[in-house]
Amino acid sequence: MSRLESAREQIAKLESLLARIQRRVAEPRAPRTMVKMSEARLVPADPTPPFTPVLNHPVESELVAHAVVTAPPHVEPVLEPVLEAAAEPMLEAAPPMIEEPVESISGEFAVAEAPMELEELGPASEYDSLPVVEVQLVEHAQEPVASLTPAVEDGRPDLDIVGERAHMEHVGEELALPQEHEEHEEHEEEEREQPPESGRELVASPYESQRVAVATPSAPEELSLELHEHVEPPPESSKNLRVAPAVPETSAVVPFEERLEPELPPKLQAPMVETPDLGFDEERTMEVQLDRGVHPVEAAPEPHEVEAGPVSEPVEIDRSEHVVEPAAEPHLVDATRVVEAEPAPVVQAAAPVEIPSADVIRPQILAADVAAYLTAARAPRPETFGVLLDAALDL
Amino acid sequence: MTAFVEHSPFDPKKAVTFDLPNGQVRLASGADDSHRETDNGRAVIVPAAALGVLAAAAGETASRELGRSIGRSLGARVHARLDVRGGSLDAVVTELATELALVGLGTLSVERWGRALIVCVSDSPLGGATGDALLAAALEGMLSSASGRELRTTPLAREGAQLRVLVGNVASIERVIGWLAEGVSWGDAITRLHAPREEAVS
């Protein structure tokens, strides 16, 4: 008799509590605790830009596929707004359009003697002994994965579930829910023994629908790890912008020596030509040009002038054009021959080393030098007394 | 670039030696005594006024001979210490002035008017036309002996204690003497001297 009465009293309390929960849930404002939870759990503490919930998309898809919702019928009207509140944290990451597709929510409502706020809860020992009602909701993955897209401009599909509600089905349609309290307790024990599903669990107290003590995800660290694993590589365009190639393309790198040789103008190679005894057409002419002025010069009048040592100044020889007429005298033609017939390999070896640049050869005449020269020229020469005496005697 | 020949600097310590026991006064002939004259450099200290009286009494020609003789001895000592022809103007003038001052004939300097060479003597004890002629003859002998060139000198003008003496060849000196006799100033005479020969004659 007493047991029955006590059971009725508890039922009455539960009913009153449920009524209160209904009233609280009916309020449109978002629960404060849920926001805190989202900040603490779902959103990285220090998101590195550009952090977006897009990265959660593959994981969430998997979670939806394995979602299982079980809920007792008597708490059914209460859990729906709770689920909405639970979906709010996802809006923190991609506000305001994204709603978290709740896959699995299991709530434990601790029945207290009197309704109290979450902050007013005392030590755990005070309410651990209270009866617990477990509510589980299962959401079927009815929405295609493609529709769950992030609202991020990275080329991936947007997570657009605005206005949609996660379809919740009661356990009674798919899973057999415990109809009695005893069976419910047994099932609760089984649930405790078994590890939670991969989905998020919401452990909410029945007396505080909005200020629900939401349990953290069963394995938040693992979840975040999975997120990193499923990160898709950025598009090529962004990759190019963010990541520079660590190593330059070595194929384009040419050794210094290899670059120098092709750049050596042939005109610098010609002056190093010695004067071996070579023969060629008398009609062939050459053009000798100095880097300073590029003046066409006739062939050396005498062969020995051509044979004189390496040229100190860069001399440009244009072999293609026949600028200088062949010399009338045979020896002049021979001089031209000597220059033209010089073997190229010898020239290439000595040209970059011995031929100085035009800037080095060209004397730098400064204004101060000119002034000093004029002053010295105008100044009386240091004539000897004998010279002066001779000049005076010549008058 | 002309290289100047180094020369032995004049040493005034032994420039004049007074041998009082023997009653002799000797002049140093140079760095070494190789050019010592036959009289062994003996000198006589004669009052300047007496020398002037002598020059005035002997006439210009005798005075000039006396002056050349005095100048040769001075030039010989300069030549002994210095290559006059190869030496710089400053060095040669310094040596000449030293020798002239040593015998008490005044202070020597050189001026160049164009190509003309003018030797200036200041504070000479000799005066008058005969004294100037004697002094110019001394400079002639000194320069000729020092340089080895045959040359002539003639007094151009006296301005107080300063006497300008023109140095030239025989013909030039003769022309200048003629212009000066005609009343041409010594400046114009030097200008004419630089003019071509035909214009100068006309």
Looking up tokens 């365009």, which residue turns up? A237
Supply the pLDDT for residue A148: 43
For residue A71, what pLDDT band results from cuts at 50, 70 and 90? very low
Q: Do A395 and B115 touch (CB under 8 A)?
A: yes
Q: Which of A383, A389, A394 to mutate to test the interface with B (most CBs of B within 10 A)?
A: A389
Lowest-pLDDT choice from A111-120, A211-220, B107-116, B168-177: A211-220
From the list B88, B147, B193, which residue is nearest A389 (CB)? Answer: B147
What whole-number distance in Å separates Cα of residue B202 and Cα of residue B197?
9
* Token digits of residue B2: 């002309």
Highest mean pLDDT range out of A114-118, A346-350, B157-161?
B157-161
Supply the pLDDT for residue A70: 39
Looking up tokens 């040596």, which residue turns up? B95
Q: Over pLDDT 90: what percentage of chain A?
A: 5
Rounded to 5°, the CA angle A97-A99-A105 comes to 170
CB atoms within 10 A of CB A1: 5
- Among residues B49, B38, B131, B36, the alpha carbon closest in space to that of B76 is found at B36
Looking up tokens 């860069």, which residue turns up? A314
CB atoms within 10 A of CB B38: 6
Residue A395, min C-alpha distance to chain B (Å):
6
Residue B24, min C-alpha distance to chain A (Å):
35
State pLDDT tens for residues A33-47: 444 444 444 444 444
- Residues of chain B contacting A388 with CB distance shorter than 8 Å: 89, 112, 117
Residue B189, min C-alpha distance to chain A (Å):
12
Q: How many residues would you count in chain B?
A: 202
What whole-number distance in Å separates Cα of residue A146 and Cα of residue B24?
140
From the list B86, B143, B149, which residue is nearest A384 (CB)? Answer: B86
What whole-number distance in Å separates Cα of residue A56 and Cα of residue A343?
73
pTM as predicted: 0.39
- Residues of chain A contacting B147 with CB distance shorter than 8 Å: 385-386, 389
Q: Maximum CA pair distance of chain B?
A: 63
Residue B13 in contact with partner chain A when CB distance is under 8 A:
no
Supply the pLDDT for residue A267: 46
The stretch A280-292 carries a mean pLDDT of: 45
Q: Do B117 and A392 touch (CB under 8 A)?
A: yes
Q: Over pLDDT 90: what percentage of chain B?
A: 60
The answer on pLDDT for B156 being more than 60 is: yes
State the average pLDDT for chain B. Answer: 86
- Residues of chain A contacting B117 with CB distance shorter than 8 Å: 388-389, 391-392
Supply the pLDDT for residue A7: 92
Helix B128-147 crosses helix B89-102 at what angle (to 10 degrees)?
130
By C-alpha distance, the chain A residue nearest B152 is A393
- Residues of chain B contacting A381 with CB distance shorter than 8 Å: 2
Buried b (16+ CB within 10 A) or exposed e, B74-109: bbbbbbbbbbbbbbbbebbbbbbbbbbebbebbebe
Residue B87 in contact with partner chain A when CB distance is under 8 A:
yes
Could you tell me which residues of chain A have a Cβ less than 8 Å from any Cβ in chain B? 381-395
The stretch B8-25 carries a mean pLDDT of: 82
For residue A336, what pLDDT band results from cuts at 50, 70 and 90? very low
DSSP character string of A136-148: EEEE---S-GGGE
Which of B98 and A220 is assigned the larger pLDDT? B98
The stretch A50-65 carries a mean pLDDT of: 41
State pLDDT tens for residues A297-332: 444 444 444 444 444 455 555 555 444 454 444 444
- Residues of chain B contacting A395 with CB distance shorter than 8 Å: 115-116, 168-169, 172, 193-194
Q: Do B4 and A384 touch (CB under 8 A)?
A: yes
Supply the pLDDT for residue B29: 64
By C-alpha distance, the chain A residue nearest B95 is A385
The answer on pLDDT for B155 being more than 80 is: yes
Which of B157 and A153 is assigned the larger pLDDT? B157
Supply the pLDDT for residue A370: 86
What whole-number distance in Å separates Cα of residue A389 and Cα of residue B5?
16
What whole-number distance in Å separates Cα of residue A287 and Cα of residue A290?
10
